[in-house]
């Protein structure tokens, strides 16, 4: 239970307080509980308003307006104290870049990481900023805490940050499927942000672009089923994974003859096969690995954790679990950008031309689709960009109403850091 002291609050709500659930925020006046801030769930709000009406005796007039906007904490401040947990990782570093690019109104920036990284520095707006180890007081006076250091760190420290009054924007999988935690892609379901109770989740990098493309098409022609195959870059697995891809590639290229008289298929296959790997379960260089993440991947029915995330998160973001989704996730030796081949079955007809029109109007998307001119999205082109790109939109004639398409988004930008910053920006509106 969280106690918040609010001055000038005149409401006798002792009966209300008894009925409020433990996790709700109780407002106190001079140390005594006087009201509750209800997280913005419509049913609870209505219940609260009913209860408040019945407990308000004739003599009790209040100047406390229940504002649907303050049920959940929103930030009215102009200058924000920001903490980043995991600032030295690939997402943390991109987050710093994007906060600077978009001139996020930061008053204090506190960078925290594991003890291993404490003492290092990273650059923000050209200034070297020290990294501190995580402590009990790391979140004191912090308004927004971005978490991108792994699920276990978020599970342990996210609630600590909330206890100190911070709003947590979590980039890990720790709370994504928690029904009390909104899973937000601002362009798709930004309106649910107000329901937060201190923690807001940002979805996985393969779910974000998929939901951005599916939602507008679903609004038009109701999607029944989706089959998605992802082609995910190594940056999704972190800085060490990028290094492994580079080292493997160098080793192999140094080993191969520079001048080849034979066609490549005749090169002894052992010339480009490596046995030892550290990060990935198999050589990633010149390969495609149908397993994400690289360890402890397999779950129910032999789906991988990443595939389950795509299926469950997409349903949650779209607010619709009736769409059937199946996924296969593959790691490929690309630096940045996750590509996805998406097959969609609709309840109603939608032509490729109509789909192009719908998608070109949807926020955050750009349609690149002119096969005659070899125009379609690629990971190299999408890297470093904010938009999710869509192309190769064509009829699937194997079902009554079906489309195939190809999408690409920068997994570290829109798939991670940018989405988190956009969530923070929404909190300031």
CB of 304 to ligand 2RA, least distance (A): 10
CB of 206 to ligand 2RA, least distance (A): 5
Q: Half-sphere exposure of residue 117, counting CA atoms within 13 Å on the CB side?
A: 19
Does position 205 interact with ligand 2RA (CB under 6 A)? The reply is: yes
Q: Which one of 60-68, 203-211, 351-359, 386-394 is the stretch in contact with ligand 2RA (CB under 6 A)?
A: 203-211
Spot the catalytic one: 196, 218, 336, 338: 338
CA-nearest of 278, 274, 290 to 241 is 278
Does position 209 interact with ligand 2RA (CB under 6 A)? The reply is: no
CB of 294 to ligand 2RA, least distance (A): 8
| 282 counts as catalytic | no
Interactions with ligand 2RA, residue window 6-35 (CB under 6 A): none
Nearer residue to ligand 2RA within complex by CB, 186 or 236: 236
Q: Which one of 47-55, 101-109, 200-208, 418-426 is the stretch in contact with ligand 2RA (CB under 6 A)?
A: 200-208
Nearer residue to ligand 2RA within complex by CB, 109 or 423: 423
Alpha helices by DSSP H, 261-345: 305-317
Does position 410 interact with ligand 2RA (CB under 6 A)? The reply is: no
Q: Work out which of 213, 292, 403, 408 binds ligand 2RA, going by CB under 6 A.
A: 292
Spot the catalytic one: 205, 218, 329, 336: 205
Distance between CA atoms of residues 177 and 175, nearest Å: 6
Distances (CA, A) of 305 to 170, 183, 290, 296: 18, 17, 12, 8
Nearer residue to ligand 2RA within complex by CB, 289 or 358: 289
- How many CB atoms lie under 10 A from the CB of residue 293? 18
Phi-psi region of 207 (alpha: psi -120 to 50; beta: other; left: phi over 0): alpha
CA torsion sign for 160, 167, 195, 216 is negative
DSSP state of 8: T
Interactions with ligand 2RA, residue window 371-390 (CB under 6 A): none
SS3 161: helix
CB of 417 to ligand 2RA, least distance (A): 12
CA-nearest of 200, 209, 137 to 172 is 200
Q: Work out which of 144, 149, 237, 325 binds ligand 2RA, going by CB under 6 A.
A: 237
CB of 213 to ligand 2RA, least distance (A): 17
CB of 205 to ligand 2RA, least distance (A): 5
Does position 236 interact with ligand 2RA (CB under 6 A)? The reply is: yes
Distance between CA atoms of residues 245 and 235, nearest Å: 10
Distance between CA atoms of residues 139 and 162, nearest Å: 8
CB 148 within 8 A of CB 89: yes
Q: Work out which of 206, 291, 304, 314 binds ligand 2RA, going by CB under 6 A.
A: 206
Q: Half-sphere exposure of residue 104, counting CA atoms within 13 Å on the CB side?
A: 28
CA-nearest of 415, 410, 376 to 394 is 376
| 338 counts as catalytic | yes
Q: What angle do CA 146, 152, 156 make, to 5 degrees?
A: 75
Does position 204 interact with ligand 2RA (CB under 6 A)? The reply is: yes
Nearer residue to ligand 2RA within complex by CB, 176 or 385: 176
Does position 306 interact with ligand 2RA (CB under 6 A)? The reply is: yes
Nearer residue to ligand 2RA within complex by CB, 162 or 208: 208
CB 390 within 8 A of CB 405: yes
Q: What angle do CA 7, 8, 12 make, to 5 degrees?
A: 105
The site string for ligand 2RA over 214-233 (x = CB under 6 A, - otherwise) reads: ------------------x-
CB of 238 to ligand 2RA, least distance (A): 8
CB of 139 to ligand 2RA, least distance (A): 24
Applying CB under 6 A, the residues found at the interface with ligand 2RA are: 204-206, 232, 236-237, 292-293, 306, 411
Which residues does the annotation mark as catalytic? 205, 338
């Amino acid at each position: 239970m969280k106690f918040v002291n609010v001055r000038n609050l005149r409401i006798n709500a002792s009966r209300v307080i008894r009925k409020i659930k433990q996790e709700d925020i109780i407002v106190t006046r001079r140390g005594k509980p006087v009201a509750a801030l209800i997280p913005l769930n419509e049913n609870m709000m209505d219940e609260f308003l009913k209860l408040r009406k019945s407990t308000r005796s004739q003599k009790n007039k209040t100047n406390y307006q229940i504002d649907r906007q303050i049920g959940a904490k929103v930030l009215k401040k102009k200058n924000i104290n920001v903490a980043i947990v995991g600032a030295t990782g690939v997402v943390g570093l991109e987050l710093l870049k994007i906060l600077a690019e978009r001139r996020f109104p930061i008053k204090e920036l506190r960078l925290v990481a594991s003890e291993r990284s404490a003492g290092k520095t990273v650059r923000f707006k050209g200034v070297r900023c020290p990294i501190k180890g995580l402590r009990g007081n790391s979140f004191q006076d912090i308004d927004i805490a971005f978490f991108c250091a792994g699920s276990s760190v978020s599970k342990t420290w996210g609630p600590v940050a909330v206890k100190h009054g911070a709003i947590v924007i979590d980039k890990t999988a720790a709370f994504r499927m928690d029904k009390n935690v909104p899973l937000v892609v601002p362009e798709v379901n930004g309106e649910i942000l107000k329901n937060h109770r201190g923690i807001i989740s940002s979805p996985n990098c393969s779910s974000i672009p998929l939901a951005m493309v599916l939602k507008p098409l679903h609004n038009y022609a109701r999607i029944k089923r989706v089959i998605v195959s992802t082609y995910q870059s190594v940056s999704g697995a972190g800085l060490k994974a990028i290094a492994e891809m580079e080292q493997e590639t160098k080793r192999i290229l140094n080993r191969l003859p520079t001048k080849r008289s034979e066609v490549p298929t005749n090169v002894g296959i052992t010339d480009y096969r490596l046995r030892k790997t550290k990060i990935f379960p198999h050589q990633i260089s010149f390969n495609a690995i149908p397993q994400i993440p690289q360890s402890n991947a397999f779950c129910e029915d032999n789906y991988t954790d990443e595939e389950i995330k795509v299926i469950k998160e997409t349903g949650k973001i779209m607010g619709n679990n009736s769409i059937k989704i199946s996924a296969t996730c593959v790691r490929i030796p690309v630096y940045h950008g996750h590509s996805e081949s998406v097959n969609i079955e609709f309840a109603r007809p939608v032509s490729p031309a109509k789909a192009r029109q719908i998608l070109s109007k949807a926020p955050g998307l750009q349609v690149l689709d002119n096969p005659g001119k070899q125009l379609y999205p690629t990971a190299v082109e999408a890297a470093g960009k904010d938009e999710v790109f869509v192309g190769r939109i064509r009829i699937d004639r194997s079902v009554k109403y079906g489309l195939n398409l190809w999408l690409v988004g920068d997994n570290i930008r829109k798939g991670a850091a940018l989405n988190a910053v956009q969530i923070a920006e929404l909190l300031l509106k």
